Structure formats: structure tokens, C-alpha cells
Structure 1
């Protein structure tokens, strides 16, 4: 191990990371990014707290000397050492698998690491909703969604997938915002925004007590038990599985045919987003300003439509 060469490699790999990519600490899985590199340190910034922390060159040398003496189990890493271990795996000399970090040039690949999260995967849920909404807006502008039967198959598929992704992501955001709003909403109170109004609503969900409690309550009042007993679907399915009873003998089966999304190419979506951003950046003058204003308007309309759900 040549400390100078390894340090140079560490700095180079950190500087070459894709903008927006994150690294994870091996044990606590705290996300962090590379904020700055210098001759004697690599400064990282933790995503969960915003804390900036220098990783010193001398400490890397100490850790590498420990690795030269043998592998290091990741579970034994102290919190302060975890970021050093993560960054070391970006080199072409140190690999991490099977719960340990070790010197293994044959298994290591420069710039890759099991603790590296791509920029596309590192986006938060609100960021994904924003990006998916932007892609959906572009797809709606490009394809004639008013006449789905006239769409090319690829366009129809992309439109369906993007609409599904926006709906799913928006629901996640809505649930998280709901918790925050409930802390601010009192009984019979309404909160108003630019796009609408919300109020606190209470909905009861009933779950029967255990069978013994229910039957005891019925017996106390002289209510026949058979009034509330019936077929248990779970038990019926077990009977179907272990006997020759046919499904159509005990079930009225209706077939519902629908389209199911089975996959999303996040890398392709992210690449498309980068292409849109690059084209906008290349535009100058009135044309660029008009396009930015148009995109802002599209995003606003999408936001309004989603909030109305």
C-alpha cells in the first residue's frame, strides 16, 4: 500500500462522483455526500442532519494500515470510523462484502461501492414526485392523451407508467403532510391554502372483539349466536387448498381485466430529466424564459390537480 497513491485515488474518486449521488455509512446507514476535497482532508456532509465533517488524510492512513493487517468486520466499526470505511471502498484496492472490508484488488472496482447510492436512487420522495410530475407534463404535451386509442404503444405505456408513479408518490407525500396538518387542525377548524381548504375528519374503523367476548355479549341478551355466524373466507380457502372442492362450487367468481405496472426504469427517467434540464439551460433570451414560465405553469397545474384529490 502506497499511502500517497491511495490518497490521490481517494480524492479523485470522490471528486468524480455523480452530482447528487450519496454514500452510506456501513452500519448506521447514514447518507452523506462529498462537500469538498483538499490536500489534507475530504469534507463530507450528512444528509440527515446537515452536519459537515472533515475526514483527515492521516486518519485514512491509520485505517489503511489496519486493513493491511487483515480484514475489518463492518459491524465492529465505531460511528466515527464508518465514513472512512465507506470512502475507502471507492478505490480499486479495497472491497466490501460478506460483512467485512478487506484489501482485495481483484474484487474492488474503482468508483464503485456497495455503499454508493446513485443520484437517481438518492432522491427524496418529494423530489421524485416533482421529477415524475415534470416528466408526465412533458409526456402530456407531446402525446395526445385526449385520444388514448390513437397513441403509439410506447407513448401509451409511458403515459400510464408516469401517471401511476405520480399518483403513488403524491399519495406518499399527502400522507406525510397529513400528519403535519393534523397537529395544526383543531375540531371544526379549516385551513386554507392557495389551491383549496382542508378540515379534520374522524372516521371510525371497527374490528370485532374475540369470539368468546362476542358470544358472551349475545348470550347475555338472549340473541341467537347463528345470527352473527357465517362463512369464514380464510377457512374456506384452506378447505379449497386441501380438498377436491372446486372454487366455482363455493365462490361466485368475476374476472376483472386491468393493466398492471410491473416495472419502472428509474435510470431512464433520470436520464430524460437531465436532458430536459440541459436543453433548458442551453436556451437563452426570451425563448428560454418563455419555456421556463411554461414549465412553471405546468407544474402549478399538476400541483393543483393533485391537491384536489
Structure 2
């Protein structure tokens, strides 16, 4: 099929979209809407950007993408797109023959029905029908925000001891649960990042990196290899801490005899009153649900902002046109 036919089919499909229809880019997960459909270009407006909200997508760039897709029977890999070019496949997915598979990281031409990058009505009304995420870090973060608002923490020395204990406990819980969620997010992101290419979001950027962990081979093999290279084994033999500890257990020596020991003190969380935390958390929820004064509305807005920030931590933006 000639591109001109597919192009006019795409334009027809875009013209039929409701005015509030929202699409999402497959790489950066930016939301945008189509504001104008012209013969040579499509005008879009990003919903998550403070600058450069409006952008024209040119027909010749769609044609380049079209040929790349049709030349690849197994699909065109999205990570081969130039920086900031993922609105193009998102718009092209509105065409009935093109579909994005985010799990495989491709856009492919298909026979029969396909899906698009259009957010459904439920996705568009998420702001109105927000639900509490079933995450430990969410509940602890909500309690922490409440505690920070009730105490003057600019000068910690002036804060009562029980308040400091509560703050330390909540900070510890938030840190632990946030790190668990961070690792879970990282595991998913790892499958979406390609070729060490940075991907940006509203609050920062991430990049796929590699780490090398080294462990010595069999001790005798290492020593023989070094000796063959002219290195005396005495040069690399040293004290093994584990072996020293084993030796201490079968001798009358103390740790002081072989270790320089420095003692330091620190604060450690001993226990958490989960019932008390849950009672306070439920009180915050009941307070929000049962009153409608200005102060409560402000607290509700702060909680919604907190939820939004947590949601947006997984929203990413890449670098702008598809080159021929």
C-alpha cells in the first residue's frame, strides 16, 4: 500500500477523534492531544510539559517511519527512534493497521484489528476517580507529611523527644519501603531502557548502566597463574579476615589482640506500633472524607499532589525528528 493512502487514512482517523482524546508516547510516556490535522502535518499539544507544549509533526517524517516499519516484518524497534521522536509512532498507532507493542519495544504493521496509544475514558478520568494505591510507602509517606506539618522541624533541637521518635520511625519506614518500590520500578525500567540512552522525566533522568562484580578463582589456580607471570606468591598472600575469626574461636586470643576496634553509637529503630499508625492514618482519611472546609481542602490537595508525584516518578521523557 502506498504511503499516501495510509497517510490519508491516518488523517481521517485523527479527524474522528473526540476533542479531549489523549494519547501517550511509548518511550517517554508523555500525554498529548491532537489539536489540528493538516494535509502536510499534525499539530499536537503536550499535557505534561511547561515549555514547548505545542509541536508540529511533519508528513515526511511519518513517511520515513512508515517505510522503516513496512521494511521490518517483525516490527520496527522503538529504541532506534531519534531523541524525542516517539510522538510519531503514538500518532501512527491511531491508523487501523499499525500497533505498538511496548513489552517488545516495537511498532508493527498488522492485518486485522489493532490497539492504539489512546488513553481510554477511565485513564482520562483518573484525576477525578483517584484510588488509594495499595503501597506501604504511600501510607507511611502520608503519615510522615502529617507529622512534618504538625511539628516545627526547622530546628530539630526544639522538637520534643516523642515527636522526634515518631519522625525517625516514619522516616525509616519510608526509606525502607521506598527502596523496595524503587527496586521494583528499576526492574521494570530495565526492560524499557536501551543502549545506554538516557531517558528523562519531570524530576530527572535515568540511564541503563552495567556493573562488573569480580570474585577470585580458585586460590591455587590464581597463585600458579601469577607465578607463571613472574609474581612470587608471597607478594599476594595476605591475612584473610574469615580465617582469622575461625582461628580466634579455637585459641585463647581475644579480638582486641588482632583487631583495632573503634566503638560508635547510633540510633536504631527498635519496634513500630503498626496499630497506632493505622489509627492515625484512618483518622486522616476520615477527616478528609467528613469535612469540606478550606483547611481540609488544602490538605486533600497536598495529598493528591503527593500521589501525583509518586505516579509521575514512572513517567519518562526522551530527547526530535525522524531523520531519513
- Shorter-chain TM-score tier: 0.5 to 0.7
Which runs of no fewer than 5 residues in structure 2 stay unpaired?
1-131, 316-324
Aligned match of 2:283 in 263, 275, 287?
275
Change (3 A) 1:156 1:303: farther
Q: Does 1:188 align with 2:196?
A: yes
Q: Distance in 1 between matches of 2:298 and 2:265?
A: 43
Change (3 A) 1:143 1:299: farther
Q: Distance in 1 between matches of 2:265 and 2:280?
A: 31
In the TM superposition, what are the counterparts of 1:204-283 in structure 2 within 5 Å?
204-283=212-291
Tell me which residue corresponds to 1:138: 146
Could you tell me whether the CA contact under 8 Å between 2:147 and 2:167 is conserved in 1?
A: yes
Partner secondary structure for residue 194 of structure 2: coil
In the TM superposition, what are the counterparts of 1:122-137 in structure 2 within 5 Å?
127-137=135-145
Output one character per residue of 1:127-162: Cα deviation in whole Å (capped at 9) or x when no partner.
100000000111111122222222111111110010
Q: Distance in 1 between matches of 2:147 and 2:161?
A: 13
Partner secondary structure for residue 270 of structure 2: coil
Q: Distance in 2 between matches of 1:183 and 1:125?
A: 23
Q: Distance in 2 between matches of 1:176 and 1:267?
A: 27
Task: For residue 206 of structure 1, report the CA deviation from its aligned partner.
Answer: 0.9
Partner secondary structure for residue 199 of structure 2: strand
Task: For residue 279 of structure 1, report the CA deviation from its aligned partner.
Answer: 0.9
Q: Distance in 2 between matches of 1:133 and 1:172?
A: 14
Change (3 A) 1:144 1:274: same
Task: For residue 126 of structure 1, report the CA deviation from its aligned partner.
Answer: 5.8
The two structures have a TM-score, normalised by structure 1, of 0.55
Q: Distance in 2 between matches of 1:150 and 1:287?
A: 26
Task: For residue 181 of structure 1, report the CA deviation from its aligned partner.
Answer: 0.6
Task: For residue 187 of structure 1, report the CA deviation from its aligned partner.
Answer: 1.4
Output one character per residue of 1:234-277: Cα deviation in whole Å (capped at 9) or x when no partner.
11112222222122221111112110112112222111110110
Tell me which residue corresponds to 1:197: 205
Structure number with the bigger relative contact order (C-alpha 8 A, sep ≥ 6) is: 2
Could you tell me whether the CA contact under 8 Å between 1:125 and 1:173 is conserved in 2?
A: no
Tell me which residue corresponds to 2:163: 155
Equivalenced residue count is 184
Partner secondary structure for residue 263 of structure 1: coil
Q: Pairwise CA RMSD of aligned residues?
A: 2.6
Q: Distance in 2 between matches of 1:262 and 1:288?
A: 34
Could you tell me whether the CA contact under 8 Å between 1:143 and 1:151 is conserved in 2?
A: yes
Output one character per residue of 1:68-117: Cα deviation in whole Å (capped at 9) or x when no partner.
xxxxxxxxxxxxxxxxxxxxxxxxxxxxxxxxxxxxxxxxxxxxxxxxxx
Q: Which structure has the highest helix share of the two?
A: 1
Tell me which residue corresponds to 2:45: none
Larger CA deviation: 296-305 vs 230-239: 296-305
The two structures have a TM-score, normalised by structure 2, of 0.52
Could you tell me whether the CA contact under 8 Å between 2:287 and 2:296 is conserved in 1?
A: no
Which runs of no fewer than 5 residues in structure 1 stay unpaired?
1-123
